[in-house]
Structure 1
Amino acid sequence: MDDAGLLGKIKVIAYDAVEPNIVQLKKGNVSAVFDQHPTKQGRHAIKQLSEYLLNHRIPEKRINYEPTEILLDESFYVPVSEAEQK
Structure 2
Amino acid sequence: MADQTPHITNKPGFSETDSGEVPREWESALNSAYNYAEIMSMSKAGIYDQLVSEYGEQFTPEEAQYAIDNPKYIFLLTS
Would you call these one fold, judging by a TM-score over 0.5?
no
Structure with more relative contact order (C-alpha pairs < 8 Å, separation 6 or more) = 2
Bigger fraction of residues in strand: 1
Q: Return the structure number with greater helix share.
A: 2
The TM-score, its normalising length taken from structure 1, stands at 0.27
- The structure number with the bigger radius of gyration is 1
